[in-house]
Structure 1
Amino acid sequence: MIRGSVPRLRRTLVVLGTALATVAATLAVATTPVAAAGSPDDYSGSDLWLRYVPVSDAKLLRDYRRTVTAIVVENADADRVHRHTADLTMAPGSTEKLVETTLGAARDELVRGLGGMLGQPTPVTTAGAGTVRDGSVVVGTPASSPLVRRAVSARDLAAVGDEGYLVRSVSRGRARFTVIAGNSDLGALYGTFAFLRLMQTQKPVDHLRIADSPKIKHRLLNNWETERLYAGNNASGLGGLNGESGAIFNFAATGASAGRNLPVILDRYIVMARALASLGINGITINNVNADNAYLTSARIAQEAALADALRPYGIRLGLSIRYTAPTDSRFAPDTLTNSQLDPYGTEFRGWWTRRAQQVQSAIPDFMGFTVKANSEGQPGPQDFGYDHGDGANGIAAAVAPLGMTVHWRTFVYNAEVDNDRLKRAYLEFGPIDDEVQPDGTRGRFADNVFLQTKNGPLDFQAREPIHPMFGRMENTNQALELQVTQEYTGQNWMLTYLGPMYEEVLKTDTYATDENGKLLRERLVGNIVDGSAQHHPDTAIVGVANLGNADNLTGHHFSQANLFAFGRQAWNWTLDSTDIATDWVRMTWSNDRRVVDTIRTMMMGSWEALVSYQTPLGIGHQFAEGAHYRPDPADWAGRDDWSPVYYNKADSAGLGFDRSPTGSNLAAQYFPRLQRRYGDIDSVPENLLMWFHHVPWGHRMDSGRPFWDELVYRYQMGVQYVTWMRETWETLRTDIDARRFGEVRAKLAVHEADAPTGGTPR
């Protein structure tokens, strides 16, 4: 419970609140959103980062036009993907179109992209008599294209694997041309987007020798279509208009939008597919982890099949979130079970999941599998019936394994009976199952087609957390890293917060993992754990909780697009630098003008640290009012301890913060020895994680020389001032940004500045 007496705690929180109010009064500025004027352009941001604008630099445009003169995609229409829905159609008035092959998607993207950037059509030609014209861009695989087969070696292609690609500048006689090659059509598509990205960011394309492949096999989104959705098309972003729910996919829209339900395909589905393919994202679980069983009904499966048909050419597979107790739902009658039949080892339970998975697979042959949130926040699970997470996960996994499907079992659990410290509970529940010795002498009970899907930190998507102790500790189990793209605690759709640096910090944090003899692993960063290089896991996955909705810009805030872009790029290659990713996104989205690029990138790169400073500085986490996760309320008790700010801040007359050192709950002991020592000592723990692990005395001397309280106020102040600087800086770009987007970001920054001193006001 809470340290110190209740009256003393209240006095301390009043002092804290008064100090923050003083900062707010000093820094807050009266801001009224004003519509931007100037440019007549009403572009909405609906193309995400795939808006192919003409190259403005005259010399570079001449160079590009000389280097790129034709498109050659041999046999582009030969290998058609599976299509279940016979009458699949776009909605009336659509501007996007359906494609039936992956190479056709690559060809069409080149036509669109090159035509836009070069300011003139780029012809699609064929290779006559095995020759190719100077300046051609040749796309394909050795199987689809004789030109590709002759231009690149099988050995070089083998090195990039199934989804990788080569982009080469090739000379044959007098002809110089570009080859984009993959071992699969999908690899060739990924290479096509990489080539276009070079031109979008105005890099040279005349002497290319690129080889690239993903470091992680499954690069997935979990789309939350009902909760933490901040990208709806109404004024708040929290819902939809005209009968739509606000989600990106329409399954049950009413009124004016009833005719826009799946199986009708909307433009935004294809834009999303193209954008995700441009990043190499290869799967999406389309519904919230607090799952609705409707997604397993026959009518909904037919709609899902149509969506899968539209996305399939872009290499995007579908998955579903499910409830453990779905077999008891009367909507599946007469094929239903009773609670007594939910034994994960029983033939009834496994048989039901096999039948349901077979029904899905008959409509969606490349269906990925299921994601499960069990025994967490009211969701049912195996513990309700006397079993543990290993039993439950393996029961469903055994049912779908013969169909080639996987089960992602989320580890976001915090049963208060396990330990008083919520942050320790997940590892205490899952760690013993991973360590369990099996009859054949091996360790680990989770099945091979189970992924434990674990958030980056042990609490809940806070602006900064220590890495989750399970990374590296689950040596015998497939583990997927879950990062949040939708900004639940990081400003929602109101605050400009670029999360690329946060993802980078997580992925490049050293776990100090050791082998069975206690020797440090050579490769042991979180990214090495996730990509399998640390502990030799052959199957790997990373998951982003998506921020897609039906807003015109699909993400609710123009700068939220950058978070989806950053997640995808880092999912493909977690070693990338978040600054370089931001630079690419700015050039692809806003401008290639050097001053504009430098200005916007600078805004972005400090935005996350600023948010940490004015929301949760020095490791004081979860200080939000229960529910909205936006407005701070450090004195709040939300009905149970581990949902309440007071549980985490432990404020009293002595200090602030949760003691998780060896003298407290000893969360530090769940980490590998090097981190145990670092986190467990107040003098060695990183200051940005200080209150995650220690109850810090008010007078504790910080690295800056300031006392702890002064440092805390200073961090708040600096964070708020950065937001004011961002608003003022954006004003300097008025003549450089198209009118609608400039005005919409300007209005968001006005709200951001008003909210930052208080941490957020519900809207």
Structure 2
Amino acid sequence: MSSSDENEQSRFRRRSFLIGSGAAVATSMFSAAPAHASAPAFPSGYDGSDLWLRYEPVADSGLLARYRAALGAIVVENAGAAKVHRHTANLSMAPGSTEHLVETTLEAARDELVRGLGGLLGRPVPVRDGFPDRAVVVGTPDSSPLVRRLVPARDLAPLGRDGYLIRSLTRGGHRSIVIAATTDLAALYGTFAFLRRIQAQQPVSELDISSVPRINHRYLNYWETERLYAGNNPAGTGGLNGENGAIFDFTATGASAALNLPVILDRYLVAARAMASLGINGITINNVNANSFYLTPAAIEQEAALADALRPYGVRLAVSINYAAPTDARFAPDTLTREELDPYSAKFRDWWTRRARQLQAAIPDFMGFTVKANSEGQPGPQDLGYDHGDGANGMAAAVAPLGMRIFWRTFVYNADVDADRLKRAYLEFGPIDEEPQPDGTTGRFAENVFLQTKNGPLDYQPREPANPLFGRMEHTNQAIELQVTQEYTGQNTMLCYLGPLWEEVLKSDTYATGPDGRLLARRLVGHVVDGSAQGHPDTAIVGVANFGNADNLTGHHFAQANLYAFGRLAWDWTLDARGIAEDWVRLTWSNRDFVVRTIAAMMMGSREALVSYQTPLGVAHQFRSSDHYGPNPAERLARDDWSPVYYNKADTAGLGYDRSPTGSNFVAQYFPVLAARYGDIDTVPENLLMWFHHVPWDRKMRTGRIFWDELVYRYQTGVHYVSWLRQAWDALEPHVDARRFAEVKAKLAAHEADAGSWRDTCVGYWRQFSGRAIPTDGPLSLRIVVGGRTIGGFDAGAASATIPLAAGASPRITKVVPADPAVRCEVLSQAAGVPGRAVVRATGKSSFGPILKDYVFDFTR
């Protein structure tokens, strides 16, 4: 069975409890939880520190018995033979650690099976020699004579270096499960995949699974000083005990000073195991706004220690660098002048070769450098009159003899290039890709250069059109960059599952054409990234990671799902976000169908809800500049293209940025089919409307509402979804461990308040220009009958509504009439008298999930 077959199994499991339309899902969400609540799967004080690798015992007694009958021993031949390189003589775990260092990748696989099977089966599973019955056998033909005998070489050949197979076998009366690959690392990947099946309560009989990653380089970029929403201190960022909040300690002071690298903390190895469990095979350990400290000899020794600890798990290190690092006085006397940063000069290239050699001497598998150049104040080749191709190739030439790569970010937006920020990257990089070369080829970027491009043309927004560079850079290696840490998607406060965002991007049709002008057969963004669209042999995907030193490593228990989803999609971008969500819930919260159904529904609508209450219908980048969290659509900054007003263009005529052929003509950077679709206000998808058009306030939308009314309707719907999230989570209290339940509950309370702030701030600002009243016919609008009167027109954004009653009139609500007959209404409480308060709950469904609003009515005389 291939990886696509694994995805089909996930879909089959989902159909077993999500049958029918979205209406069925919505209805199930409003039904009561099972009355016979079982004990939560995890200890009440569990802090989330194991991510999805907790391995709690299987609760279903029948299934547990079947697993125990099938899994009786662990066989990993020659597990200690192929020791990985270790540079650091004094590498050690911190005092009191529960994790432990291993010296080989197969030891990591064996130990994971011991830990995983022992935990899941509730009893130890012994490690044995030979070929006992009911064995789980792990290895490669090189490491294991048993694997060599059981699995034909022809079956392993298609797997490459990273693929694995998991197969049930019966030989000589022995039943076994073989996890085999051509490399030790791939065998480790298969081990984690096998354990994942048991965690998700899938069958382990009659297995015939094979899985090969679609993308070669599956990396994280870790930003240790910016966008760190997983730091462990009361303010939400930063660290305790002298740490800075980052996951890796290089320069901690105070109580943590003795725990700096080369001391290895438990969380480093949990992160390593988690990355390996997803097939992530590299991490750039510092911010792209790079501090050259990471190139100093002292730092390299610390980095080598970290690399030693991560190496058995297949996680290689890279460093972000500052283009002007050779001028840094910390490297004196080996420094260059500014004028010597010429990318074609021997001095410049030799300097970088020397640094790379120093790194490689300590870290033999060092990957290379990530570069942010001539962007947001970072230096680069343009400072000396060269372009990005010159700079990238200069560095690439310096490290190519060492087998290293340069990841050169395309996040550039020099205002001198064009008035429209979205057009600037392609205008700078496109001509270099199309440049004819003396040898008859096209494109100037070197073979060991990857252009690292954000998924959208702006900056990690909750929704963007796909970046036009995907498909347009036919002659250049290109990596897609996705932001796992939630800079513009709620940070460590809002529950926002990013799987649907990434699935939407990766499965977007570029409508790319070949040299003959015909549409390519394989042209989705994912096809471009995996090389199958245009024949690129080397491929990469990068996630801006959300690790930190918080107890749960990500700052929000649900932020763990985003790291998990990134890794699963990096391995196979064709997987569906819902299947990934359901698997994560089973691994992380519970296998009870009610819990899985509820949490997966919460996750799947969360991103669309966030779009609705932050940036509906394509209005972009309305975040306040101070923290990129809250709203400030009126903000105007010294730099125009950092200002929300630059993007919203609000005026009395309408809202949105005109990028059509009669505007900035940004649409022309897309292939013709998309250019025509986006350029016409009648054919552009409405969820991208204001990315490409300045929309009149009274334009009729596809719902029949005018644009102003539709805009407010979207804001209301997003907030109503978050209100439902709180109710849905509260219903899970008997089924979820206490500490994590309470921590998520507190986050959701803040989430709901902040979503309401987004709605109120933005709608209030747009109203100044639209000149229209705030509509009261929202998705959950209703009328009530009280005191013999029918009253409606309530503002769904108001905390309460005050209703005066005539003398002697009863405050009892006798009837509730929703505007939409599909909406359910329930009187939660009646006023005991006047003055008094009543509460009515309205529940319904939106296009992306259930919604809820509690109307509070204060009665007066």
TM exceeding 0.5: yes
1:40-98 deviations in Å (ceiling 9; x for gaps): 72110000000100000011000000010000000000000000001110001100000
Number of the residue aligned with 2:723: 724
Please point out which of 53, 66, 69 is paired with 2:69: 66
Aligned to 1:637: 636
Task: Check the 8 A contact 2:609/2:719 in 1, yes or no.
Answer: yes
Deviations 1:574-606 (A, max 9, x none): 000100000000000000001000000000000
| DSSP-derived class of the 2:663 partner | coil
Does the CA contact (< 8 Å) of 1:250 and 1:261 recur in 2? yes
**Matched residues in 2 for 1:404 and 1:631: separation?**
44
SS of 2:162 mapped into structure 1: coil
Q: Tell me, yes or no, if structure 1 residue 465 matches structure 2 residue 464.
A: yes
Match of 2:118 in 1: 115
Query: 2:522–2:532: 8 Å Cα contact kept in structure 1?
Result: yes
Preserved CA contact (<8 Å) 1:135 1:175: yes
Structure-2 residue corresponding to 1:531: 530
C-alpha contact (below 8 Å) 1:630/1:761 kept by paired residues: no
Match of 2:200 in 1: 201
Displacement of 1:441 in angstroms is 1.3
Paired residue secondary structure (1:663)? coil
The answer to whether the aligner puts 1:93 opposite 2:96 as a matched pair is yes
Mapped partners of 1:339, 1:225: distance in 2: 27
* 1:42-81 superposed matches below 5 A: 42-81=45-84
Question: Residue 142 of structure 1 aligns to which amino acid in structure 2?
Answer: P
Question: 8 Å contact 2:138–2:187 — kept in the other structure?
Answer: yes
| Residues 64-463 of structure 1: pairs in structure 2 closer than 5 A | 64-127=67-130, 132-463=131-462
Instruction: Answer whether contact 1:262 1:303 (CA < 8 A) is retained.
Output: yes
Distance in 2 between the 1:58 and 1:148 partners? 32
Question: Which residue in 2 is equivalent to 1:25?
Answer: none
One-letter identity of the residue aligned with 2:227: R
Q: Secondary structure at the match of 1:394?
A: helix
Deviation digits for residues 219-244 of structure 1, max 9, x if unmatched?
A: 00000100000000012321111100
Gaps of 5+ in 1: 1-36
Aligned residue type for 1:494: T
Mapped to 2, the partners of 1:493 and 1:753 lie a distance apart of 14
- For 2:86, the aligned partner's letter is R
TM-fit CA distance, 1:761: 12
Q: Which has the higher contact order (CA 8 A, sep 6+)?
A: 1
Aligned positions of 1:463-542 closer than 5 A: 463-542=462-541
SS at the partner of 1:735? helix
C-alpha distance in structure 2 between counterparts of 1:754 and 1:109, whole Å: 42
Structure-1 separation of matches of 2:607 and 2:359: 41
Equivalent residue, structure 2, for 1:574: 573
- What is the CA–CA distance in structure 2 between the aligned matches of 1:458 and 1:273, rounded to whole Å? 32
SS at match of 2:264: coil
Q: Which amino acid aligns with 1:99?
A: V
- The answer to whether the 8 A contact 2:719-2:759 is kept is no
* Larger CA Rg, structure 1 vs 2: 2
- Equivalent-residue separation in structure 1 for 2:44 and 2:741 (angstroms): 10
8 Å contact kept, 1:614–1:715 = yes
C-alpha distance in 1 between matches for 2:701 and 2:749: 33
**What is the CA-CA distance between 1:757 and the residue it aligns to?**
1.1
| Structure 2 residues not aligned, in runs of 5+ | 1-38, 762-861
Amino acid at match of 2:675: Q
Q: Distance in 2 between matches of 1:759 and 1:249?
A: 34
Which has more strand, going by share of residues?
A: 2
Distance, in Å, in 2 between the alignment partners of 1:452 and 1:40 is 45
Name the counterpart of 1:711.
Answer: 710
Instruction: Give me the whole-angstrom Cα distance separating, in 1, the residues matched to 2:528 and 2:730.
Output: 43
Residues of 2 paired with 1:469 and 1:340: CA distance?
35
Q: Which residue does 2:658 correspond to in 1?
A: 659
Percent identical across equivalent pairs? 73
Match of 2:819 in 1: none
Contact 1:237–1:551 (8 Å) recurs in 2: no
Amino acid at match of 1:112: R
Amino acid aligned to 2:118: G
Contact residue 613 and residue 759 of structure 2 kept, 8 A: no
1:482 & 1:114 partners in 2: Cα distance?
35
Residue 760 (structure 1) shift: 9.3
Does residue 748 (structure 1) correspond to residue 769 (structure 2)? The answer is no
Shift of 1:516: 1.0
SS at match of 1:558: coil
The one-letter amino acid paired with 2:638 is G
8 A contact 1:631–1:760 mirrored in 2: no
The residue type paired with residue 102 of structure 1 is: T
3-state SS of paired residue (2:451) = strand
Counterpart amino acid of 1:58?
S
Amino acid at match of 1:114: L
- 2:760 and 2:689 map into 1 onto residues whose CA distance is 27
1:273-332 Cα offsets, whole Å, 9 max, x none, are 000000000000000000000000000000000000000000000000000000000000
Across the two proteins, how many residue pairs are aligned to each other? 722
Q: Which amino acid aligns with 1:105?
A: A
1:385-432 Cα shifts (integer Å, max 9, x gaps): 111000000000000000000000000000000000000000000000
2:808 match: none
- Post-superposition shift, 1:626? 1.3
Please give the secondary structure, in 1, of the residue aligned with 2:373. Answer: coil
| Equivalent residues of 1:755, 1:761 under 8 A apart | no
Distance 2:758 2:102 in 1: 46
Cα RMSD between the aligned structures?
Answer: 1.2
State the partner residue of 2:563.
564
Does the CA-based 8 Å contact 1:631-1:761 persist in structure 2? no
Quote the Cα distance in structure 1 between the aligned partners of 2:241 and 2:85. 33
Deviations 1:497-553, CA, capped at 9 Å, x for gaps = 000000000000000000011110000000000000000001000000000000000
Work out whether residues 327 and 335 of structure 2, in 8 Å CA contact, stay in contact via their aligned partners in 1.
yes
The within-5 A match list for 1:651-690 is 651-690=650-689
Aligned partners of 1:385, 1:173: CA distance in 2, in Å?
Answer: 72
- Aligned position for 1:21: none
For the residues of structure 2 that align with 1:741 and 1:325, how far apart are their CA atoms?
45
Amino acid at match of 1:434: D
Q: Is the contact made by 1:170 and 1:178 (CA closer than 8 Å) also made in structure 2? A: yes
Rounded to whole Å, the distance in 2 between the matches of 1:760 and 1:47 is 36
Report the Cα offset of residue 151 of structure 1. Answer: 1.0
Q: CA deviation at 1:175?
A: 1.1
State the distance in 2 between where 1:155 and 1:646 align.
61
Q: TM-score scaled to structure 2, two decimals?
A: 0.83
Alpha carbons 2:715, 2:759 under 8 Å: kept: no
Instruction: Give the whole-Å Cα distance in 2 for the aligned partners of 1:497 and 1:40.
Output: 25
SS of 2:92's partner is: coil
Mapped partners of 1:707, 1:148: distance in 2: 66
Q: What's 1:6 paired with?
A: none
Asked if 2 retains the 8 angstrom alpha-carbon contact of 1:532 and 1:538, the reply is yes
User: Are the counterparts in 1 of residues 281 and 314 from structure 2 also a CA contact under 8 Å?
Assistant: yes
The corresponding residue for 2:782 is none
Structure 1 residue 146 displacement after superposition: 1.0
Q: Measure the CA separation in 2 of the matches of 1:443 and 1:225.
A: 38
Asked whether the equivalents of residues 371 and 410 of structure 1 are also in contact (C-alpha less than 8 Å), the reply is: yes
TM-score under structure 1 length normalisation: 0.94
Is the 1:389–1:430 Cα contact (8 Å) retained in structure 2? Answer: yes
Contact kept in structure 2, 1:290 and 1:323, CA below 8 Å: yes
Residue 13 (structure 1) aligns with: none
Paired position in structure 2 for 1:606: 605
